[in-house]
Structure 1
């Protein structure tokens, strides 16, 4: 992630800006887009100015060719400069959490609060092998859900037999509505270049756990116990190494837990923000 070799020039990212006040950068995962972060921005934009960019190669921020994961950081620096942002808090989901850690290490003193969702400084997974039946059921479940969101018959017949069984624990109607309104579009708008960049970083066994002690801002780390994409154990390791971090784990949920249990997840974020408000927003 931090390797600067073969780095390309920064690009202007498409970004959704909502609300006013202290800046909160909301970073999506893979596949994803800025729209995927609406589950957080809808509520947090009442207190913050939320900025939810499409990362390079995702959504409307198109990639002209191959790039490295480190290029995301240059793009985000350009975005912050474009909006005249000095200090800011950052919330990152999955890949977005890895980038949030990198920003906190890259800009000590500027990042005032760190929220990591289903993410880790040393991300490890235990996803089982994928079969052709998994892919078939996933495609059918996704198409039906796009037409009839959160249809219980589709959830029971195809959703729970598809790859969604590794992304969801409770298979709530809320999760399927988010999948219909934001998940499918995010998947279709994720470029092959973005997938290749992520896979290269994973093959290199990305690990920033030894550097977490240098991050001194308030931190919240959230995970689903059934997450096999970035395991809860990986997230817990990160929480234990971040000085003073709060840990929240949901026993019956997985990687997409913010879409499964949005009210519960946002309530924890809002409570943590309230407890740490004067540290997150130094001038308040």
Structure 2
């Protein structure tokens, strides 16, 4: 399956996105901090042709512009404008981590744009002590390295067990290998996401799937279960042996639960 890469103008910014194409039900996919749109390529292949996965590269990530505003409201406004720009609503919205918060806020603030919701590893409360480390401080990470392997080594030497997720945003520049994201901006963006998002989580009524890795260091299991219990129409799927990146730890299992959920949710919406 060919994934098409495109750019569109949204709220004064050039935002990149990928599109699996076809005539399937549109699914807007939103990555987390430090992520890329292409993180959803495997999911797009697994869901095709019934579903068309359109993954937005959010502001300040990948090849998308930013204007210095990394507030949660800025991400939310981008997502709403993007859906309207492409004339897709209502869509299924799927988000991972920070993208999951954007997704459920979009469902709550713009219910006309969202028909069903898939949230992977995004909590309704993002602050200490419930989340021990809500900010990964990357300001001391290298800006450039001689090789990709050296960039990995330097990042992992700073306490990251596996830098693979972050290296998806690494590219070769004229002066060496470095990340597409700005280190200071990512710290500011994470800090802006600290807060109580329970009102937004509870604000929508569309069918929702909450995916949780039982080994996650970001979303506590007790919180995931409380989120599912307090929001009507929410299905919780827990993955033993998986951490914060369930879609990477168990891509086949993740695709299966998403496909099963959408098979019911989209049919009911229709």
Structure with bigger strand share is 2
1:64-213 paired onto structure 2 within 5 Å: 64-124=67-127, 125-127=131-133, 143=149, 163-164=160-161, 182=168, 184=170, 188-192=179-183, 194-202=185-193, 205-213=194-202
Structure 2: gaps of 5 or more residues: 1-9, 172-177
TM-score scaled to structure 1, two decimals? Answer: 0.73
Which 4+ residue blocks in structure 1 deviate beyond 4 angstroms? Answer: 127-130
- Residues 277 and 201 of structure 1, relative CA distance in 2, 3 Å threshold: same
Report the Cα offset of residue 184 of structure 1.
4.6
- Residues 74 and 264 of structure 1, relative CA distance in 2, 3 Å threshold: same
Structure 1: gaps of 5 or more residues: 1-7, 147-153, 168-175
CA RMSD of aligned residues (A): 3.5
Are positions 1:261 and 2:250 aligned together?
yes
Give the corresponding residue for 1:249.
238
Q: Taking CA–CA contacts closer than 8 Å with sequence separation of 6 or more, which of the two structures ends up with the larger relative contact order?
A: 1
- Residues 212 and 260 of structure 1, relative CA distance in 2, 3 Å threshold: closer
TM-score scaled to structure 2, two decimals? Answer: 0.77
Give secondary structure in 1 for the equivalent of 2:35: coil
Give secondary structure in 2 for the equivalent of 1:51: strand
The count of residues paired between Structure 1 and Structure 2 equals 246
Report the Cα offset of residue 84 of structure 1.
1.3
* Whole-Å separation in 2 of the counterparts to 1:188 and 1:229: 23
Per-residue CA deviation, residues 155-211 of structure 1 (Å, 9 max, x unaligned), is xxx98x95237x9xxxxxxxx6x776x3656x8222235414423324xx4222134
Give secondary structure in 2 for the equivalent of 1:96: helix
- Residues 82 and 229 of structure 1, relative CA distance in 2, 3 Å threshold: same
Give secondary structure in 2 for the equivalent of 1:277: helix
Give the corresponding residue for 2:20.
18
* Whole-Å separation in 1 of the counterparts to 2:49 and 2:254: 16
* Whole-Å separation in 1 of the counterparts to 2:134 and 2:125: 19
